């Protein structure tokens, strides 16, 4: 016989099932609890602990790859794998990443795991990346050059997985209203350690060719473990259908004008992308510098970035997107004209310092997209943004690499091509800003984030795959 509850007796609290270690099962019995989510974002102590541990993880990887990356590029060049082949691999990877980022981000958004939505993919990719770094100096010999190229392709694939998922964790764990400022903390810490690592890289290289790779691998292992201490927000968004390549576009298309913004975000950084593609080869071939000299000359940018990181983050949060994007474009254009006249090591250092002044301002362009993204679908919307950026990278990469090759390794021609398309990107921002002022509601009638609304405390949510339309409050700054 079932006993009846006495009047006034407490009702038992329903027991929530413990999330599995990893699941992408459709219609899993988990959902986001609004009270738990609000309590999570209200806990500023937890927020700063997360910022510290995310910062340590990103810092270790940034330091290791910041030193090892140029060494790998120049070593491959010495083995006969020149600018054309290396940038072709990069361009093909950009094409693949355009589609993979949508899959990886969709998977991450819909993952149910007791570790969180983003961390599992970090721990899946990390072993492959670290092992590749450790093996490279032992395999980088002429007779194994094609095996080394294959290792680079594998490395790029797992780096794509990490970059498409784990980078979203800082967006998830921090209220949008302080996103740029908390991100600047990473810049301050990274500036100090990055300067020390790059400035002394030549000494480390002189200790033995394999030593930098072993040290980098150990740093990556230790800082990867720190990511275990990050507590992700209690967001559960199990999939209701299988992944479709157009799913992310469906979410973003609630406000079709955002595609103008995304195109602007992709194109305005084309000059910067030409620097990523060409600078090491330009410094090696035209300025006649080795890896140690390049790292030492460019290391001062870390200190400058440290000083400017928080003020720039405050500027982005305070003045909104459009004004800061214009400042980015003007300053990057001035740096472009200066680069055309760089001839000496000191001038290269000054050019690097200029990059630390305008480079972080590019974040304002992405933040304009982030502030329009709901928590449960942030990966899908940012994946659409990343798709357009990577497709742009693929096309622009082919064009810039082709121009340099057609002009007999004239790197200046590549930089000019990049700057011209950055001008097109700036024009698209003006078009987007005009449409948002002229027609301030999106296609579904929901008010959307406009370029000059700093500190926007509410995020307009596009239609989720489930068909729900909601507005999620963003916790105010403490």
C-alpha 357 chain-centroid distance = 19
Main-chain phi, psi angles of 459, to 5 degrees: -110, 125
User: How far apart, in whole angstroms, are the C-alpha atoms of residue 85 and residue 77?
Assistant: 9
User: How far apart, in whole angstroms, are the C-alpha atoms of residue 443 and residue 324?
Assistant: 27
| Per-residue pLDDT tens digits for 381-440 | 777 887 888 888 889 999 999 999 899 889 999 999 999 999 999 999 999 888 878 776
Closest by alpha carbon to 184, among 62, 323, 303, 311? 311
What pTM value is reported for the model?
0.67
User: How far apart, in whole angstroms, are the C-alpha atoms of residue 356 and residue 338?
Assistant: 14
User: How far apart, in whole angstroms, are the C-alpha atoms of residue 191 and residue 171?
Assistant: 21
User: How far apart, in whole angstroms, are the C-alpha atoms of residue 147 and residue 179?
Assistant: 41
Average pLDDT over residues 63-82: 86
Position with higher pLDDT, 390 vs 191: 390
Average pLDDT over residues 107-120: 88
Average pLDDT over residues 255-269: 85
Q: Is the pLDDT of residue 465 over 60?
A: no
Main-chain phi, psi angles of 194, to 5 degrees: -65, -40
Within 13 Å, how many C-alpha atoms sit on residue 135's CB side?
Answer: 16
Q: DSSP of 354-388, one letter per residue?
A: HHHHHGGGGHHHHHHHHTT--GGGHHHHHHHHHHH
Torsion (CA) 355, 361, 362, 365 in degrees, nearest 10: -170
Residue 473's SS3 state is strand
Tokens representing 299 are 């290391």
Q: Among 29-43, 238-252, 464-478, which stretch is predicted with the lowest mean pLDDT?
A: 464-478
Are 67 and 219 in contact by the 8 Å Cβ rule? The answer is no
Q: Is the pLDDT of residue 166 over 80?
A: yes
Position with higher pLDDT, 443 vs 160: 160
Are 47 and 171 in contact by the 8 Å Cβ rule? The answer is no
User: How far apart, in whole angstroms, are the C-alpha atoms of residue 325 and residue 334?
Assistant: 14
Q: Among 283-287, 347-351, 442-446, which stretch is predicted with the lowest mean pLDDT?
A: 442-446
Closest by alpha carbon to 435, among 264, 246, 249, 247? 264
User: What mean pLDDT is reported for the chain?
Assistant: 79
- If one counts every other C-beta atom within 10 angstroms of the C-beta of residue 321, the result is 28
Q: What domains lie within the chain, and their CATH numbers?
A: 41-232+248-454 (1.20.1250.20)
């Amino acid at each position: 016989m079932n006993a009846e509850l006495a009047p006034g007796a407490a009702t038992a609290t329903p027991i929530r099932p413990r999330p599995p270690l990893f699941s992408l099962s459709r219609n899993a019995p988990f959902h986001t609890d609004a009270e738990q989510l609000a309590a999570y974002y209200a806990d500023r102590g937890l927020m700063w602990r997360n910022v510290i541990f995310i910062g340590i993880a990103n810092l270790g990887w940034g330091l290791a790859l910041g030193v090892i990356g140029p060494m790998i590029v120049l070593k491959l060049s010495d083995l006969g794998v020149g600018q054309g082949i290396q940038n072709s691999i990069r361009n093909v990877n950009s094409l693949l990443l355009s589609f993979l980022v949508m899959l990886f981000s969709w998977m991450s958004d819909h993952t149910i795991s007791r570790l969180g939505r983003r961390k599992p993919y970090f721990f899946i990719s990390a072993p492959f990346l670290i092992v590749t770094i450790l093996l490279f100096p032992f395999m980088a010999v002429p007779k194994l050059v094609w095996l080394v190229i294959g290792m680079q392709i594998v490395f790029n694939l797992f780096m794509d997985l990490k970059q498409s998922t784990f980078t979203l964790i800082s967006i998830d764990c921090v209220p949008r209203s302080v996103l740029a400022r908390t991100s600047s903390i990473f810049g301050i810490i990274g500036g100090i350690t990055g300067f020390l690592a790059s400035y002394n890289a030549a000494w480390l290289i002189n200790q033995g060719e394999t030593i930098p790779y072993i040290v980098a691998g150990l740093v990556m292992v230790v800082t990867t473990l720190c990511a275990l201490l990050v507590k992700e927000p209690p967001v559960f968004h199990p999939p209701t259908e299988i992944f479709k390549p157009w799913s992310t576009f469906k979410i973003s298309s609630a406000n079709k004008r955002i595609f103008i913004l995304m195109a602007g975000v992709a194109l305005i950084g084309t000059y910067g992308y030409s620097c990523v593609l060409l600078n090491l080869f330009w410094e090696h071939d035209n300025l006649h510098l080795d890896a140690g000299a390049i790292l030492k000359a460019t290391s001062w940018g870390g200190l400058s970035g440290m000083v400017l990181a928080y003020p720039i983050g405050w500027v982005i949060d305070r003045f909104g997107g459009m004004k800061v994007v214009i400042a980015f474009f003007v300053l990057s254009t001035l740096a472009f004209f200066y680069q055309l006249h760089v001839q000496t090591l000191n001038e290269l250092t000054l050019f690097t310092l200029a990059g630390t002044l305008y480079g972080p301002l590019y974040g304002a362009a992405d933040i304009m997209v982030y502030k329009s993204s709901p928590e449960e679908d942030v990966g899908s919307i940012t994946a659409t943004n990343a798709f357009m950026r990577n497709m742009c990278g693929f096309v622009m990469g082919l064009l810039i690499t082709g121009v340099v090759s057609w002009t007999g390794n004239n790197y200046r021609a590549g930089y000019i091509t990049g700057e011209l398309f950055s001008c097109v990107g700036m024009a698209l921002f003006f078009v987007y800003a005009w449409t948002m002022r002229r027609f301030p509601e999106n296609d579904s009638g929901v008010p959307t984030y406009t370029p000059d609304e700093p500190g926007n405390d509410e995020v307009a949510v596009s239609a989720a795959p489930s068909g729900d339309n909601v507005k999620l409050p963003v916790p105010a700054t403490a």
